[in-house]
Structure 1
Amino acid sequence: MFKNSFISGRVTLEAAGLVALADLSTVAMRTALTGTASYIDALVLAPGMHQQQSADEVNRGETPITGAMTSGYFFHVENPATVRYLQTIGCTGHLVTAHVSPNPSFNSMLSRNNRLIQSFVVAGIPAALLYLLCPVLTIAVFALLGAIQDWWAFGVLWMLVIARSINVVVVKQRSVKGWKGAKERSEIGDLLILLSQDRWVRLKGSVDDLKAVTAGQWLQEMSDMESFAVAFATLLVYMCAALAGNASRVGSLLIACLLLCSVALLGLCNSLTNCLQMYDCVVRVEGEPKQYKRRLDMAADLIVESGRRDWAIDIGLVKHDESINCGEFAL
């Protein structure tokens, strides 16, 4: 029979580096919420860090149909980061209103330091503090590993930082703002976005800002060099898992705790982030969601408010021969 002493005497944390290989989407979600990556992300070590380039898949393949209530046009929102944020704020049977506005951190009147501070504060003070704890923990673990002279664990941690840095640089290059259409001279836009599971989001703002978060391509396709770099970074993470067994028990414990604490803090940071940052714009929820018993009731209110129904016909909310009488539909 096995004894407790037999098990406890042989349980080790030599495979703590395997925690880094967990296929979690926390890092990819953070990339989608901020619209890019920052160099400080290199010190945010969390499981799934090698999956950061999959941030353009966070929308789960959904490209919701959208009607422009001011112009009558309809199209699909194909920016995966924007779609994922809308999925998060959407509520079944409710009309949620969100507003797109210029990002205050891009104000040219601010100094460089003030713009950097503003870029963190725009997501909310609690989220910013939780996020900044992650690199602080990494630096603290580096110091502890140096103090106990566990150079294997120290080297493994450096390899994780290098792998994370490579992914950060590639994301920054891929998220460069590209084609967004012609300027519209500050015209005001009003979009109705039909998400799956009967979630409806109304997105308001200037047409140029709406284009910034919905039009064009968010993450550009990786070049051959970028693909090679990402593959090398992924191999580095796997090498860390293989070499972590050479670290001491204390070093392995520190690495495992760092990874687990970082992913927990980053997950809380994502959940507390109340906006989407995309290029030079910020998307926030405006007001309280409005519940409707029928989708036609919601469509009727918006048709009466916008003064036109072509957009509603094009996205399939109403029929050509469906009558409107004081905001009520004849079913």
Structure 2
Amino acid sequence: MSTTGLQDRIIKTPLDLVGLIMLADIDAVARRTAYTGGTLLLGDALVLCPGLHKQQDAPFLSKGEYPACAALTTGYVFRVENEATTLYLQRMSKSGHLTTMKVTSESDVAPLGRPLIAVYPLASGMTVGTLAFLCAYGDWWAAGVLSTLILARVANIVTIRRRRSSGWHGQSEPGVQGDLLVLLSQDRWVRLRGAVDDLKAVTSGQWLRDPTPLETVLTSTATLVVYLAAIFLVCATGAGKAYVLMLMIVSAGFVMTANANMKELRMSGKLLRVEGPPKAYGRRLDLANELILETGSRDWALRLGMVQAEEEEEGPVTM
């Protein structure tokens, strides 16, 4: 084999494997789904980055944690069942600190008061620009691959929107204010305040219902389509492969940057955000004693196991 032929093979082989980047196990798209509560627009289908076929795994990002929670007003103890809310609490809380958060209706927050994630729309614009260039360049294989990925995104977005649950959230208690203490793993503590109905909307019930057989077939097909797109990208020109590679890397950076700047959680028409800096405590007992003094009740602390029961007092609740 000539030196020139060997150089050509060395240069060609890495570009032939560009399709593998689509299959990278990156959870950026799934995290975006969780942080927005699944309220995705069809325009999100234009955001293409590695791991897009893992979008249905959004409920698993909280690692199966269902943290114990107590109502400081009534002493009732339960668990946070919403996986997206748990993921947000894990992200925004800090070990040995109490983080206070407020839950409100999205309609009560002025649009100008919400953070603008300017980088996210850039990912959509890059996809449109890249697709237009590939069509003008005549690389129909690369253009077809991008179109296929967009179809896969549409299938996943439609399924997520269908799976969003607006069902059971407990009995409505209009006009009642609530105050919850959530005990997360790694000694992270969160206090949630807001109307009881708003608190129920973000903590109780089912965020994404189980997929139907038809939805399972649809998302499985979309996943296979992504793998097929990775295979057929080998038929594209070198320039087409390079542009797809650049699109995937830059879009992943945009989505991850947007996720890092999401300081609030949107869920069932509610908005959950942090209020003030977290407060450090030397011991969890110090936190319990402070809140007992503030609320004038210790029932919730006993049921959570944060303080020891005295004679004739109820001990911790098994959940």
Contact preservation (8 Å) 1:123, 1:274: no
Aligned-partner SS, 2:172: coil
Alignment of 1:246-257 (within 5 A): 246-257=235-246
Structure 1 207/5 Cα, relative in aligned 2: closer, same or farther at 3 Å?
Answer: same
Superposition deviation, residue 176 in structure 1? 3.5
CA distance in structure 2 between the partners assigned to 1:105 and 1:40 by the alignment: 25
Alignment of 1:41-80 (within 5 A): 41-80=44-83
Aligned length: 307
Aligned-partner SS, 1:11: helix
Superposition deviation, residue 206 in structure 1? 0.4
The one-letter code matched in structure 2 to 1:167 is N
Alignment of 1:272-311 (within 5 A): 272-311=261-300
Contact preservation (8 Å) 1:131, 1:265: yes
Contact preservation (8 Å) 1:277, 1:283: yes
Structure 1 60/122 Cα, relative in aligned 2: closer, same or farther at 3 Å?
Answer: farther
Q: 1:19 aligns with which of 14, 18, 21?
A: 21
CA distance in structure 2 between the partners assigned to 1:105 and 1:130 by the alignment: 25
Alignment of 1:1-331 (within 5 A): 6-7=6-7, 10-12=10-12, 13-36=15-38, 37-104=40-107, 118=111, 124-125=115-116, 127=117, 129-321=118-310
Superposition deviation, residue 15 in structure 1? 2.2
Q: Which segment drifts farther, 299-308 or 5-14?
A: 5-14
CA distance in structure 2 between the partners assigned to 1:138 and 1:150 by the alignment: 15
Structure 1 182/106 Cα, relative in aligned 2: closer, same or farther at 3 Å?
Answer: farther
Q: Deviations over 1:167-192 (max 9, x none)?
A: 00000000141111111022010000
Superposition deviation, residue 319 in structure 1? 1.4
Contact preservation (8 Å) 1:123, 1:273: no
Percent identical pairs in the alignment equals 43
CA distance in structure 2 between the partners assigned to 1:230 and 1:186 by the alignment: 41
- Which blocks of at least 5 consecutive residues in structure 2 are unaligned? 312-319
The one-letter code matched in structure 1 to 2:21 is V
Superposition deviation, residue 57 in structure 1? 0.4
The one-letter code matched in structure 2 to 1:301 is E
CA distance in structure 2 between the partners assigned to 1:177 and 1:49 by the alignment: 25
The RMSD of aligned alpha carbons is: 1.9
Structure 1 46/183 Cα, relative in aligned 2: closer, same or farther at 3 Å?
Answer: same
Q: Deviations over 1:187-240 (max 9, x none)?
A: 010000001111000010000000000000000100010000001100100000
